[in-house]
């Protein structure tokens, strides 16, 4: 999982995108569905699970700690859980591949169980700091030994019983919030997270669905999420909606390629995840919602996207938590807009699979786009709809979103763009290139 062979690609324009596409299951929800099912007593069934490498890393880790996690021939996953408090000592290191979500959330789970686990990952993941998770989990009693800079490989020795804490997030992070809540599942008493800036709330929604005693209320410092420990989770039937981050590539592609009209089916419309749609609509994108419904506690809709001329905007910083993974492809939309788009307030991009601010500036510059780099974002001078020059060489830095975003950019480029490695795309969207063929064939 951590040593996939590189796969270079020369990407070029293909003409309008047309048709209907179903994107992979939401990655954030897929991770949590596997984890929470593995902590329930009995069999849970999961439909629509994202079967990318990141989620498979979570599945392998839960198997290593005692749960039965199997895919049926019908594509439905069946998970027999061990119960909260029932995680078993893994026999070997847990290989997280490229998945920061797996790592941070599982660190939380292990922290309140009487086991220890070593976490390893690929070169990209091993360069990402884990200090923001180590800090609160240490307060709860876990002993965490990390590599220099708070990085992988690292070992977590759980404390049982752990100590309930009230923790205020210093930086908006759904992963840190979730790690503390998951540690709180097996901690006597009430563990609280105070969230000054709202972040994606999939953990809260799903934990309640599994029967955890969890409350969310407004306080003077922000939202207060409280979970009562030593929980008993009940097995569930989960239908995973389409990932809005994956849908974002097709939203932008259809918006920037003249003559395009596509429908993206079954997209999760959780309001903590729709920042990209908000930003694109402010730029003039033609994105319509149809067939709105609720699936498994999550709002879902089909999106109809048509080509439209885009205009530059100043992206509101408060959108960052609801679109942090979509900034790379938003930068591509900005490169085709009329005027100078400024996107700031996205410090978190510096510590994703790559430094996505620096990586996207270099990638767009290679494609002939004029950019300006800030500590917390980019300014991008758009082409007003004219094709990008293209013709450059792009380094993805093992980052799946850089690879997919620059593939989308190539669809509106005069010359092909050479991308050094698209193999990391398998971590989140294994069928990305097959889908591109179906929409442009």
Annotated binding site for phosphoenolpyruvate, which residues? 27, 100, 128, 175, 356, 401
Task: Select which of 54, 122, 302, 325 is catalytic.
Answer: 325
User: How far apart (Å, rounded) are the C-alpha atoms in residues 300 and 310?
Assistant: 26
- Six-digit token pair at 151? 């990085």
Apex CA 415: angle with CA 414 and CA 416, to 5°?
130
Which residues have a Cβ under 8 Å from the Cβ of 49 and sit 6 or more positions away? 25, 30, 33, 34, 55, 77, 240
| Contact criterion met (CB below 8 Å) for 396 and 420 | yes
Which residues have a Cβ under 8 Å from the Cβ of 50 and sit 6 or more positions away? 24, 25, 26, 27, 30, 240, 243, 428
Binding residues: 27-28, 32, 100, 128, 173, 175, 325, 352, 356, 401
User: How far apart (Å, rounded) are the C-alpha atoms in residues 172 and 309?
Assistant: 33
User: How far apart (Å, rounded) are the C-alpha atoms in residues 382 and 331?
Assistant: 10
User: How far apart (Å, rounded) are the C-alpha atoms in residues 62 and 65?
Assistant: 5
Binding residues for 3-phosphoshikimate: 27-28, 32, 173, 175, 325, 352
Q: Catalytic annotation on 54?
A: no
DSSP letter for each residue of 285-353: -EEEEEEEEEETTEEEEEEEEE----B--EE-GGGGGGTGGGHHHHHHHHHHSBSEEEE---GGGGGSS
| Contact criterion met (CB below 8 Å) for 325 and 319 | no
Cα-based distances in Å from 365 to 192, 220, 362, 382, 433: 44, 44, 5, 12, 24
Active site residues: 325
């Amino acid at each position: 999982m951590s040593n996939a062979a590189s796969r270079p690609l020369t990407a070029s324009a293909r003409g309008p995108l047309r048709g209907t596409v179903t994107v992979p299951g939401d990655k954030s929800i897929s991770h949590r569905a596997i984890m929470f099912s593995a902590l329930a007593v009995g069999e849970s069934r999961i439909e629509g699970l994202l079967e990318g490498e990141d989620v498979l890393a979570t599945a392998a880790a839960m198997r290593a700690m005692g749960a039965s996690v199997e895919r049926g021939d019908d594509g439905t996953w069946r998970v027999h859980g061990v119960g909260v408090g029932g995680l078993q000592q893994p026999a070997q290191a847990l290989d997280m591949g490229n998945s920061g979500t797996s790592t941070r959330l599982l660190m939380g789970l292990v922290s309140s169980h009487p086991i220890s686990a070593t976490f390893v990952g690929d070169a990209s993941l091993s360069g990402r700091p884990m200090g923001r998770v180590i800090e609160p989990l240490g307060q709860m009693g876990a002993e965490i030994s990390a590599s220099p800079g708070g990085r992988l490989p690292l070992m977590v020795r759980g404390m049982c019983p752990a100590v309930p804490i009230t923790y205020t997030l210093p930086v908006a992070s759904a992963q840190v919030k979730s790690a503390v809540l998951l540690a709180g599942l097996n901690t006597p008493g009430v563990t609280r997270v105070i969230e000054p800036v709202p972040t994606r709330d999939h953990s809260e929604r799903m934990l309640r669905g599994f029967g955890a005693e969890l409350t969310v209320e407004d306080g003077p410092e922000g939202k207060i999420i409280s979970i009562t420990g030593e929980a008993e989770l009940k097995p569930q039937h989960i239908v995973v909606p389409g990932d809005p981050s994956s849908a974002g590539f097709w939203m932008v592609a259809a918006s920037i390629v003249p003559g395009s009209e596509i429908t993206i089916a079954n997209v999760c419309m959780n309001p903590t995840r729709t920042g990209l749609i908000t930003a694109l609509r402010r730029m003039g994108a033609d994105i319509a919602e149809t067939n709105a419904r609720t699936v498994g506690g999550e709002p879902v809709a089909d999106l109809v996207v048509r080509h439209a001329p885009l205009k530059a905007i100043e992206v509101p910083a408060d959108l960052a938590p609801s679109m942090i993974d979509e900034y790379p492809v938003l930068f591509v939309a900005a490169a085709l807009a009329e005027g100078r788009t400024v996107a700031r307030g996205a410090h978190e991009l510096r510590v994703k699979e790559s430094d996505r601010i620096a990586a996207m500036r270099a990638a767009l510059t290679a494609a002939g786009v004029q950019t300006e780099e800030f500590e917390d974002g980019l300014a991008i001078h758009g082409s007003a709809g004219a094709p990008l020059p293209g013709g450059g060489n792009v380094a993805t830095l093992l980052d799946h979103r850089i690879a997919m975003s620059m593939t989308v950019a190539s669809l509106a480029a005069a010359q092909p763009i050479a991308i050094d490695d698209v193999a990391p795309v398998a971590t989140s969207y294994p069928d990305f290139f097959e889908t591109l063929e179906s929409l442009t064939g």
